[in-house]
Structure 1
Amino acid sequence: MNRVTMRINGTEYSIKGNETEEHLRRVGTTVNKMIESILEKNYMISTQSAAVLAAMNAVDEKLKAEDKLTTVKSQAGSVESGAASLNKEISDLKLEIDRLRSENENLAKALEDRKNNEGDDLLAKDKEIKRLETELHLTSESAREYRDDNEHISKMNKELKFELQSYKYKVLDLQKKLFDTQINQVKDKKERNPVIREKARSTNP
């Protein structure tokens, strides 16, 4: 686990995570910029309120990503025709969800540190972030299940096409055998029937 120390709105925070130090610093810098931007536009609000607004902005991005994923699922009427593009879009959404999860986790840690310094005012927001993390996990699992189902259906479709082609060849083979059998039956009938043989001789002097 990596750890970096970041100064967010004038206060130092220790950010820990399994990501690289560069990633953790980028998350801390992003959170700091979000809070600073909010304070610049709303200089009358408190630092705590700015932190809450920053959290709401992060959650807003996460919800938009979820809405986009829902839209993709609802438009996936034909699995085979849109499998390639749909899988790519799901993969992109999963990466976006992972990025938002990482940002939410680090934002939650920053808010936890501020809560320890300023009291328990952010406890409700901390619970909300944990709930959102659970929803992110469920969304990621749903995306994974949808991708697996799509791959399974594509595989079944290929197998059915192969089986159909095999049946076509079998039907053609049976038709040929039936035709050959009919010809042999006619030949046998002619050979067994003397009248037919006599007629055959008269027509072929």
Structure 2
Amino acid sequence: MVDQIHGDDRAMTRRRLMRGVAWAVPTLAVSVAAPAVAASQLGPEVGGSTQFQSSCSGTTQTLTINGTGSYPSQGTWISNVPSAPAPTSATLTAYYPTDLAPLTWTRLGTGSPAWTVPVVDTSVAQISGYTAYSSTYSGAWTYDTPNRRFYNAARPHFQAVRSGRTCVTPVTIYVQRQVTLSGQAYSVRRGPSTLS
């Protein structure tokens, strides 16, 4: 519902503004110039923390995706959402320079099977000079009430080893997280970031 403002009705009181907001569909952000209600009208936001590393020893280069810490220092989450329904899936996509390809990822012992082993993903938006590797999460979610946030309970932990080739340094990557909630995909991309 969109309110039309005519003539003397332009002087919108806070009470009238709140009444209009109460009828709004709670999807994304509501665009109003009202700081008092803006904070409560934020839409879903995807975030998270995972360590990405690269190390070289002679002609062997090891790349690691490590999300094995505890929430809130590690994990994938979606904030500014109600306690139901829970998300249905999440995807973690890491874009590595094509110079490193092909990369074959394996699960490390502390990695959860709720995250699939990363594979080349051509269905996501591509970045020139990079290859996208995606891992999908289909496990349980936990709700953090004070932060209005769902976070995943399992952690990704993967490794790719390149042997017999020159190490590529520095390694610059992009990372994209996507969470699906109520049939809608929300995502955020970060980068470029240089691995140490």
TM-score w.r.t. structure 1 length?
A: 0.18
Q: Which has the higher contact order (CA 8 A, sep 6+)?
A: 2
TM-score w.r.t. structure 2 length?
A: 0.19
Q: Which has the larger radius of gyration?
A: 1
User: Greater share of helix residues, 1 or 2?
Assistant: 1
User: Greater share of strand residues, 1 or 2?
Assistant: 2
